[in-house]
Amino acid sequence: MLNSSLSPSSTELVISILDLVLKEGKPLDRAYSQHFSGLQLEPSELGRITFVTGDILRRLNLYCYLSDVKPEEMVRMGSRLLNVWHLFHQLPLPKMQYALQVDENDLAERTEIARQQPVLWDGCPDWLNEMGQAQLGDRWPAERAALNKPAKRFIRVNTLKCTRDELAKKLRNERVQTEDVEGVDTALEVVSDSALFKTECFKKGWFEQQDAGSQLIATALDAKPGMCVVDACAGAGGKTLSISAQMLGKGRLLAMDVEQWKLDNLKQRARRAGAHNVETRIIASSKTIKRLKLTADRVLLDVPCSGLGVLKRNPDAKWRDTPERLPILVALQKDILQSYSRMVKVGGILIYATCSIMPEENRDQVDAFLAANKHFSFIEEDNISPAETGFDGFYYAKLERIAEA
């Protein structure tokens, strides 16, 4: 939470970023990149901007109701919404050249009305509330409330280079305060407002930023030195690097994706981390998968999903076309699971994972796959709950190939 108001230049940036996300449909991370590129911002100011922007997007419908501003009016009316945000959090109003004033009596009335509507108070759109109720039942209100909270800052210690205790001590010397995360041996929570990526520890590859829940998925793969391991939906490679550390950098670790730029990014991260057993490969066609049939001891399928477990971190997904895209994503998940599972050798392990908390993308997919593939058996699963853990929300199922098809 901030303890003072935004500066005039920061308020303009927040409004511009919100407009880019809400009017043009730009993903939040790309909107940040576009607006921050070339700017020389102090880490503290950068943190303030991202905190305010993220909080507004996590509860956008609430703040729009309180300020009587529509999302598409951000350029024209955004100053009033920002004033309301500051008043709501009991902060001094920011100094803006053309700020629209707020009727504080009206705001107080609207706030009391909103308090009586838990769905609105939690910043939840109707479509998401209906889906959550249908799929999670009594568990949904707690998850809904948890998903409107700011995301915590977690990092993963790179055990190729140091221990968790060594990393914590080094970071403390660089004025970064951390705490151990119970139940996740590789995780530290950053509890100070620090310029994490300017530290020598980061430059030397001692850690990566990764949610603690995400770290549990890589741990479940149980990769060993000398194995042949495939991370088939690697993206920028957070889990790939965690797997490399499990393998002590020994064995073959193949990171695959359909987008080359993500793999290029992964190569840079792997060099910094000292993860020398990482090999990248673009998935150009189905032949790429067929060539690896029955070769892998471990396969991780962190499939494309709705992202409904990581709304704290990516709140813009609430206000995009997620409901329309979901059936397409579910069909894609089914296809990837069926096709990519062919890479697992007999006796090998497959992890199916998402960053969603919805059964439609999780256990339902696994049950359908197992019903159609008797040569795989179910070992275990974990629903990583934001409400129960404070982490982002994830799911994984661990399956074993017990025979050829």
Q: Which residues are catalytic?
A: 355
List CB contacts of 140: < 8 A, sequence separation 6 or more.
129, 132, 133
Close Cβ partners of 212 (under 8 Å, ≥ 6 residues apart): 154, 181, 184, 187, 189, 389, 391
Instruction: Give the helix/strand (H/E) hosting 377.
Output: strand 376-384
Amino acid at 261: W
Q: What is the DSSP string of 164-211?
A: HHHHHHHHHHTT--EEE-TT-TTEEEE-S---GGGSHHHHTTSEEE--
Give the CA distances from residue 44 to residues 3, 114, 146, 194, 263, in Å, rounded to whole numbers and listed in that order. 12, 32, 25, 8, 31
| Helix and strand element counts for the chain (H, E) | 18, 11
Q: Phi then psi for 245, rounded to 5 degrees?
A: -65, -40
From edge to edge, which strands make up the β-sheet containing 394-401? 278-282, 252-257, 228-231, 296-302, 344-354, 394-401, 376-384
Residue 144's φ and ψ, nearest 5 degrees, are -60, -45
- List the beta bridge partners of residue 394: 384
* Alpha-carbon gap, residue 262 to 98, rounded angstroms: 41
Q: What is the residue-wise DSSP string for 260-324?
A: HHHHHHHHHHHHHHT-TTEEEEE--SHHHHHTTTT-EEEEEEE-----TT-TTT-GGGGGTTHHH
Nearest to 399 by CA among 252, 291, 307, 301: 301
